Structure 1
């Protein structure tokens, strides 16, 4: 069986609300945002910092629902700054025969990390 790695869920342009160097590690994310993107607590996430171009992986933990919290913790805290804009992505292994029907959960947020839009496809780049 061939498995392909596909984007499962994404939080687009989330803002860093806290940077906690002395925390054990991970990225705390508002649980409403986790649910909307289909990301589970302790699931591996890839974080792309729009401000500085840095990319790294960690795991998600749940922050209080409705809080808007995006807290990058532990060693990863050195890779971001308060207020940075992040893309937080989770991926899944999907059997090749199921790829055609697979749809990611894409969540777009405003500057306060409130959901503004949801989609299951990325809009094409302008020509």
Structure 2
């Protein structure tokens, strides 16, 4: 999923839990490739439960003209977090 979303390890992201409304900022830790596992670790783990739907948001800084042309990457994983 990280490759498909153009997110890199240690990148700062915002996580929004659709099930309970929680929002938090954290960083990305790479898991086992192809496992489909997306989990919250440490204190962030208290902000969600297995099976919750989450939105992971990554931001970028760019100049105005580049931003006007930019098209974001949107992923809508299937069962088992497969893209």
Query: TM-score normalised to the size of structure 1?
Result: 0.63
SS at match of 1:104: coil
Q: What is the deviation of 1:105?
A: 1.1
Q: Which residue of 2 aligns with 1:84?
A: 52
Whole-Å separation in 1 of the counterparts to 2:23 and 2:78: 21
Among 69, 94, 101, which residue is 2:37 paired with? 69
Pick the structure with more helix per residue.
2
Residue 49 (1) aligns with residue 22 (2): no
Query: TM-score normalised to the size of structure 2?
Result: 0.94
Structure ID, larger Rg:
1
Whole-Å separation in 2 of the counterparts to 1:70 and 1:98: 31
Deviations 1:74-93 (A, max 9, x none): 00011111111100110001
Q: Which residue of 2 aligns with 1:14?
A: none
Q: What is the deviation of 1:45?
A: 0.8
Whole-Å separation in 2 of the counterparts to 1:54 and 1:111: 23
Q: Which runs of 5+ in 2 are unaligned?
A: none
Pick the structure with more strand per residue.
1
Whole-Å separation in 1 of the counterparts to 2:69 and 2:38: 31
In the TM superposition, structure 1's runs of 4+ consecutive aligned residues that sit over 6 Å from their partners are: none
